[in-house]
Amino acid sequence: AMRSKPGETFGDAVKRLGVKFVLFSWTDLFGVMRSKMVPASAAAQVAEAGAGFAGFAANLDLQPSDPDVLATPDVSSLVVVPWNREVGWVACDLSMGGKPLVQSPRDALKRAQTALKEKSGLTIKTGVELEFHLLSAEDTSKMADGHDTAPKPCYNVEPLMRQYDFISELLGYMEELGWEPYQADHEDSIGQFEINWTYDDALITADRQMFYKWMVRELAQKRGMTATFMPKPFTHLTGNSCHMHLSLWDANDKCVMEGPGHLGLSETALNFCGGMLDHAPAYCAVSNPTINSYKRINAVPTISGSSWSPNTVSWTGNNRSHMIRVPDAPRFEVRLPDSATNAYLMPAIITTAGLDGLLKKMDPGPPMLFNMYTADAEVRKSCKMLPLNLLDALREFEKDKVLAEGIGPQLATAYFNLKMNQWNDYSRAMSRWEIENTLDA
């Protein structure tokens, strides 16, 4: 038994799972997991009252004068931590002053799901593919595996098997947790890996995404390695993406993606795609949330021959050179987000964009079936380009009132303020490049 059962109370679940402590966890606007460790003997009582946090201490754009942020566990997310079975982990919802905290990313995703259901009768299911690099803990400029040096290392069996202990432990834990993992591979950069698990309701996937990143880091550390989800840790190597696969389902849990339109898609699917394309420059600030993110999506080809990341706002069939890909199965793969993205805000804002497309019947136009990387300048000019840096993305984000309304105007303002502070901080930092290129000015 590794997780709570449907209908179980929090107190009963904690008792049955036999853990000594429970981590009451939640995620801030920068995607940082915050937790308090609560003894099992007090878990039910603390769950009832809410575990108290000083919101100013996390990235929520709150003040020291604000009252406590209270974290209330969602019992359906309770699991045993597989590498330390005395400990349980649960995702929490946040409130302040008796009301849900609007700056909570998890709350934003739940609101986006509710809006989608109320306005279109649909639910969204997502699956994420998070890439990461395994670096040497002593020197993070080097890979953990010094023998992993091939120029085109994707799917190579030797570097995969050299990390067998790490990968098999991860897969084993994911199976125990009921995630149904189905493949693990060595990715396109040296030292880079990806493990896929089965798609589910967007909130379930988001909770698992947070837990997964923590688990990967912990298990890597245990083996003297550092795992990084940084979007572009090395300029000459492929970056870490978080491709999100999504599909829309009706009240009877029937997928509504198939139809007579382009690539065998329904009008519903096409309109949703239209919304995702229309709002892409603005939600880029969330799907690609760091200064470093823009070195991935506007990259020149890497040593392997391709950056595998988009640079235009475009959609296609089974072709990996555009922002939205429709694989052979009727679903969308959004290739824009990177592994630094916020597990809750990213699906929340993309759902909001897609819903706007549904409501306004947005036409995505015909799919572009050519290779965008080798297309000539004229063709590329006809496409909307993605932002070139975080500042451009934030300016687009600030202008988009539909997205702000969907994720909550207060959350949108808080996110914008915190990210602008980060941009300004970065802009004031002196780089080696500036010295080398401006000393003789």
Predicted TM-score (pTM) of the model is: 0.97
SS3 135: strand
Q: How far apart are CA 24 and CA 90, in angstroms?
A: 5
Here the tokens at position 345 are: 């805000």
Helix (H) or strand (E) holding 185: strand 181-186
What's the whole-number average pLDDT of the chain?
Answer: 96
pLDDT band at residue 207, thresholds of 50, 70 and 90? very high
Question: Residue 190 — very low, low, confident or very high, per pLDDT cuts 50/70/90?
Answer: very high
Chain-centre distance of CA 124, in angstroms?
A: 15
Whether residue 298 contacts residue 336, with contact meaning beta carbons closer than 8 Å, is answered with: no
Secondary structure class of 424 (helix, strand, coil): helix
- Check: CB of residue 188 under 8 Å from CB of residue 340: no
Per residue in 209-265, pLDDT tens?
999 999 999 999 999 999 999 999 999 999 999 999 999 999 999 999 999 999 999
